[in-house]
Amino acid sequence: MSVIAEYCPEIKVTVVDVNKDKINSWNNMDCSKLPVYEKGLDLLIKKNRNKNLFFTTDIKKSISEADIVFISVNTPTKKRGLGAGYASDLKWIESSARMVSEFACGHTIVVEKSTVPVRTAELIKKILTNSINNDSNKTFSVLSSPEFLAEGTAIKDLENPDRVLIGGEDQSAIKQLSFLYQKWIPKEKIFVTNLWSSELSKLTANAFLAQRISSINAISSLCEPTGADIKEVAKAIGADKRIGEKFLNAGPGFGGSCFQKDLLNIIYLCRYYGLEEVANYWEQVVLLNEWQKKRISKLIIESFFGTVAFKKLVILGFAFKSNTNDTRESPAIAISKELIENGANLYIHDPQVSEVQLNDILNEENFISNRDNCEGSWTYTNDLDRAFRNADAIIIITEWSEYLNINWSEMSKNMRQPAWVFDTRGIINESDLFGTNINFWKVGKGFLESS
Ligand code: UGA
């Protein structure tokens, strides 16, 4: 919304939320305290807030004045009830649609921005149509325009998207939304489709991206025992234009709030429509991702002859990828859990993830099984020198640029022997470890000699 406000100064953009604390944070004069860390966002907010960009809890007034309402709420995987563990929870979509139906005046274009299962627009339309029956002054057009931005590069992705989708039937509404986007996006990048294609394209894009990561991670495990190098393989296959070079970095498995959720959603939809084989096909992408995390924690434990109890292991990076403080579904969570349950003492460092965030995840009631009898522990650290002191292993989980500058020959002197580095992102050059006495494992390359 801040990008719309930036490129459409004549349009008033109002962001509403029922959560007062959240809105207060978005209104915080200190833009370093915004609820989301995203490069460039603070500058846009500083520039446009209270000019044509507003944050408020006054939902009624904002909706009643709006010509276009974007529904951009969470659609997490359902934890209970029908479809639990797979289907998306649409309760926030539903309650947003109910608010729009209640407070809208005149004609309102309602745009589905959240990632939703195919045919969610039908639910929104139904809720809105019911309110029309009670009030003949209200009319609605429902469009789908999913968001393809990635965290960490959100502003750049929004300013220069590969494409924008508008799915719908009402040509006039499509034209209005298209005009809005055209303020900064070339017309040929705006694709108009039917509602259902637009909804399904978003899920499919994420499923294909996730599948690509599971594919490269699967091959990484085959590289390790055979002597192949995943970086060389990725470069070789990526040079084929039909495959393309992007999204071929092997790692500890994909994280983030979207890939797994959207895959589970597709799997649920396929089973709903009786497409069991298709569901199983996509489920394998999720299972491979789980397996990649498991095999990494297992090989770490096995490197210490089957026990990491009382070992000091330093986790470098807890965010699901670099340039974000988001930890949702981060591979660091599963790997840390496994290591703590095996008795390790973890020292966790991340340039953006706070101790409070770690506390919420790692100290959650049932996070560690049999916690009372568990010898493992975790400590937050923002001091790499202290973390490395007497450490048995360094485990790189997020590819923060900070970790590229570690002076391994200096740092290794403070580590306990036999010392290990496990590079799950493949960002460290073997040559940086020469002469250090550090044992080294790198994803897609395996165990390497360091001296
Ligand atoms: C993803 C999509 O890339 C966006 O297009 C989409 O809009 C967004 O989900 C969404 O649905 O909201 P995001 O989850 O922010 O964006 O992050 P990605 O850059 O896609 O990374 C996802 C995960 O894959 C991360 O854990 C990342 O480290 C991992 N990854 C990515 C790899 O392991 N290897 C790669 O080569 C690329």
> What are the tokens at 358?
């770690």
| Termini Cα distance of the chain | 53
CATH of 287-448, one of 3.90.1150.10, 3.30.110.70, 1.20.1560.10, 3.40.50.720: 3.40.50.720
Residue 166 bridge partners (DSSP): 192
What is the atom index within ligand 1 of the atom nearest the CA of 330?
26
Geometric angle at alpha carbon 104, from 101 and 106, rounded to 5°? 120
Lining ligand 1 with CB less than 6 A are 115, 147-151, 206, 209, 213, 247-249, 251, 254-256, 258-259, 320-321
pLDDT score for 403: 97
Query: Mean pLDDT in each 10-residue stretch from start to end of the chain (451 residues)?
Result: 97 97 95 88 96 98 98 94 93 96 96 93 93 80 97 95 98 98 98 97 98 98 98 98 98 97 96 98 98 98 96 98 94 98 97 96 91 92 96 98 95 95 97 93 90 55
CA 77 to centroid of ligand 1, rounded, Å: 17
> What are the tokens at 235?
């470069």
d(CA 141, CA 130) in angstroms, rounded, equals 14
- The answer, as to whether pTM is greater than 0.85, is yes
* Residues with catalytic function: 258
Q: What is the pLDDT of residues 331-363, one digit of tens each?
A: 999 999 999 999 999 999 999 999 999 999 999
Geometric angle at alpha carbon 184, from 178 and 189, rounded to 5°? 60
What is the atom index within ligand 1 of the atom nearest the CA of 154?
15
CA 306 to centroid of ligand 1, rounded, Å: 33
Ligand 1, pocket-test mutation among 163, 201, 259, most atoms within 8 A of CB = 259
Nearest residue by C-alpha to atom 7 in ligand 1: 148
Long-range contacts of residues 206-211, Cβ cutoff 8 Å, at least 24 apart? 206/115, 206/258, 206/259, 206/262, 206/263, 207/262, 207/263, 207/266, 207/282, 207/285, 209/247, 209/259, 210/254, 210/259, 210/260, 210/262, 210/263, 210/285, 210/286, 210/289, 211/282, 211/285
Nearest residue by C-alpha to atom 16 in ligand 1: 150
pLDDT score for 205: 98
Q: Which residue has the tokens 């493992």?
A: 376
Which of 273, 7, 271, 318 lies closest to 164 in space, CA to CA?
7
CA 150 to centroid of ligand 1, rounded, Å: 6
d(CA 415, CA 368) in angstroms, rounded, equals 27
Q: Where are the domains of the chain?
A: 1-57, 287-448
CA 245 to centroid of ligand 1, rounded, Å: 15
Geometric angle at alpha carbon 288, from 287 and 290, rounded to 5°? 65
What is the atom index within ligand 1 of the atom nearest the CA of 205?
5
d(CA 322, CA 87) in angstroms, rounded, equals 28
CA 329 to centroid of ligand 1, rounded, Å: 11
Task: Kindly report the three-state secondary structure assignment for every residue of the chain.
Answer: CHHHHHHCCCCCEEEECCCHHHHHHHCCCCHHHCCCCCCCHHHHHHHHECCCEEEECCHHHHHHHCCEEEECCCCCECCCCCCCCCCECCHHHHHHHHHHHHHCCCEEEEEECCCCCCCHHHHHHHHHHHHHHHCCCCEEEEEECCCCCCCCCHHHHHHCCCCEEEECCCHHHHHHHHHHHCCCCCHHHEEEECHHHHHHHHHHHHHHHHHHHHHHHHHHHHHHHHCCCHHHHHHHHHCCCCCCCCCCCCCCCCCCCCHHHHHHHHHHHHHHCCCHHHHHHHHHHHHHHHHHHHHHHHHHHHHCCCCCCCCEEEEECCCCCCCCCCCCCCHHHHHHHHHHHCCCEEEEECCCCCHHHHHHHHCCCCCCCCHHHCCCEEEECCCHHHHHCCCCEEEECCCCHHHHHCCHHHHHCCCCCCEEEEECCCCCCHHHHCCCCEEEEECCCEEECCC
d(CA 309, CA 304) in angstroms, rounded, equals 9
Ligand 1, pocket-test mutation among 254, 288, 330, 423, most atoms within 8 A of CB = 254
Ligand 1, pocket-test mutation among 209, 211, 323, most atoms within 8 A of CB = 209
